[in-house]
Chain A
Amino acid sequence: MRIDRIRLLVQALCFVFLIYGGLLGLSIGTAIPTMSCIYAEGRGGSCFLYPFQRFLSLPWSSLFGSVAAAFLIYLGTFFIWALVFGKTFCGWICPLGFLQDLLTKIREAMGIDGSRFAWATRDRFQWVKYALLVLLILLPMGIGNSLLGLPRFTPDLAVPFCQICPGKPFIPLFYGDTSHILIDFSSLTKIIMTSLSMLIAGLFLAAGFVKRRYLCAFCPMAALLSLFDRIGFVGLRKKGEACTRCGNCFRACPMEIREIADLRDRKHMVTQDCMLCLRCIEVCPEDKALQATLLGFPVFSASAEGFLKRQARTAVLPESGNKSVKNADPGTIPSEH
């Protein structure tokens, strides 16, 4: 089975669990490094970023005083999740990633050609996710405290990232809750934030029909998780001397990571945008040029044999061995009708 089919299945299961798991009383906590939205009532685990921003908006006296222990335990939980699963959260678990992949599948089924970032564009906007990360830390801090003598920010800015995250309008929809699709006119801040939210939500839908995983290129959670790229349990290794730079992996990569094909001298290939979908390994025809590792041990390796076996399932082969076809004119491709 193609790895992105397996992946879609896993994503679907994770989606159901994360969105509806709470209805069965299941929960895996509130420090999950994935966009499992807090606004879904019966969720089975929720996004790390919401409580994180809440913690940060406390006055420093209590953040580093009475709730310091709770905050540390909370960060520690996140740390363990991120260390063990790392970027597999992006590729295999994230509900927003799943929705984007679904949109892509619909687009492909409709035969709409996809688009790619120009290389320069993609390179130019790589800082955005880090900027968002810094903002989602600084803005809440400025609510509970005065930063550099500035007046404290309005509480309307609370959990700023959640206010613009596309999870907020879309994920509650799975409970029939449309209350987050609105522009709130109660204050200027709210007008700006909700307008932004609607804009991003629109982009999310539209981009789904243009390009794979469009918004993931700007996700601050990916920025956070990429801190664990080198030390995480799951790895992606490249054997440069086996690579022919044929570009199969680059074309297959939903995140359009050029390094995977172009760099020969780098061993660890989990780059800042990588979501460990492992599609690159699947389409690599050179033995052991790419390997997925768990705790350093290879679990899935590229091979010519595996490549051909998987590809043969997609190929529409003329019935080989069928004598009448062979004698007629071997290799002729039967016309479609």
Chain B
Amino acid sequence: MKQTGIQKLIRIREKMITGKKGDTPHPLNPADADTEARVARRLSLHLAMSVREIFDAISLEKNRPASMAPFDAVFRNFADAPDQILPATGRKKIGIYCMAVPEELIYAAGALPVRLCAGSSDAAEAGEALFPDVSCPMVKAATGFTRTGVLSMYRDCDLVIIPTTCDWKVKLGELLSRHVPVMMLSVPKLKAAESSRRFWYAEIRRLVQALEKVTGKRITRKRLRTAMGLLHEAQQEFRIFQTLRMDDLCLIRGRDAAAVANAWFYMDAADWTHAARTLNEELKERKAQSLATTPPSAPRILLTGSPVVFPNWKIPDLIENAGGALVCDELCSSGRLLWDMACIDEPLFEDMLDALADRAVLPCTCPVFTDTEDRRTKLFRMIQDYKVEGVVHHVLKGCHPYDMELRPLEAKLAAAGVSQLKIETDYSPEDTEPLRTRVEAFVETLKGRRLRMGKSA
């Protein structure tokens, strides 16, 4: 009697568990589930198409460094094998949404960081339903990918860390938490105050605890030193790469340079460093042979503003197809990505955490911080270092911090005699043609200016 009762209970429990397993975050209504599946299918199809289109165009280009291959392979997988974008590894995967998360900590915890900031216009469309009219396309795209699960890495993460850098990110957590475990990291907006720094130090320690809990590994001083060393090796290659781009010859297309940095999002640090080292060697050879990707007459352009993430090569391609040389960018997705370096030789573990915390926030030139002077200084310095002739401001519709900061920044740059072009757009290819006209006009202006200044090459 008793036994059968227990068996009954067990059976009911099993039913509940299996029932729960089937009850994924998707809506229970079969019609809704159907729509979801259709959205996912469409996204997967369109994404593959736009990726192939990009690579078809690239295959027609001459003079492209052969060492781009390992980076290309990562991006080709977006179309061919979305579940193989990330390296095959038994490690836990930690999704991150911003530069403000120190990746060293994730490596030290024995996990793989994956930056999930997305650039697909199709994914933005898939996520659109959940957002107000004017919203950041990056956040829309990330939601689209997570919701549909078209790129498995958006669902596979053991933890997704979202720093509260901008308002979109603040609200992103709730949307994603239906599908993946999310941890919010509160970023102070005032860099100069002591209270902000102490607060941020405490947040970083909270992050350490969360990572240790997810991975089950303790972050020790030795592990952290190893991880920081790993990143320094990558940063060394990145700095060499950027220094090569300062050369008078344009050794690599700006789009490819963005792709190199962008591949960091998905590659393991050691693999990336290896690939970047090979690329740097090739670029050095090209320099010796005076092999440039653009003619010397092409005006040198700096791209700054909202992030440019694969497959959204719209703006870099527009600039370079119009005859400009995109020599550098001040974007959190590429030019700024690995530039700032933390000290490894801090004496104690706690000091190393502080060093990482400072590195993530203090030198960051994102306009979400109140200290706008840092970005201005950085831009002026880059204009000098890369011998820049024109600046293109990229503002994604809905990216309010960059938009707000633009007017005073434009005024400062104009006062210093820098030519500028503001492009306000989103991920969709619809406005490409009108933009092309504007970019071409801008490049022609720069060329004309160079002639007038008597610096014609």
Contact = CB atoms under 8 A, between A and B. Distances in A.
Interface string B205-228: 000000000000100101101111
A329 B90 contact: yes
A245 B222 contact: no
Interface stretch (A66-74, A175-183, A203-211, A236-244): A236-244
Interface stretch (A26-34, A160-168, A316-324): A316-324
B233 A311 contact: no
A230 interface: no
Interface residues on chain A, size class:
35 or more
Nearest to B381: A241
Interface in B364-388: 371, 373-374, 377-378, 380-381
B348 A114 contact: yes
Interface in B225-281: 225-230, 232-233, 235-236, 239, 268-271
Interface string A114-154: 10001110000000000000000000000000000000000
Interface string A89-118: 000000000000000000010010110001
B229 A316 contact: yes
A113 B374 contact: no
Interface in B323-379: 340-348, 350-351, 354-355, 358-359, 362-363, 371, 373-374, 377-378
Nearest to A336: B222
B contact face: mostly helix, strand, loop, or mixed: helix
Contacts of B377: 240-241, 243-244, 264
A111 B220 CA distance: 13
A243 to B, nearest CB: 7
Nearest to B268: A331
A311 B107 contact: no
Interface string A298-323: 00000010011011111111101000
A311 to B, nearest CB: 5
B270 A331 contact: yes
Contacts of A311: 229, 232, 341, 343-345
Given A246-B362, A283-B343, A333 B226 contact: yes
B296 interface: no
A251 B355 contact: yes
B226 A318 contact: yes
A2 interface: yes
Nearest to B355: A251
B358 A317 contact: no
A332 interface: yes
B107 A333 contact: yes
Contacts of A332: 89, 91, 110
Contact of B341 (A2, A241, A308): A308
B270 A320 contact: yes
Contact of B268 (A118, A246, A315, A330): A330
A329 B91 contact: yes
Given A308-B341, A330-B271, 17 more contacts: A2-B345, A114-B351, A241-B381, A246-B358, A248-B342, A248-B355, A264-B377, A304-B341, A311-B341, A311-B343, A311-B345, A314-B344, A331-B112, A331-B268, A331-B269, A335-B217, A336-B220
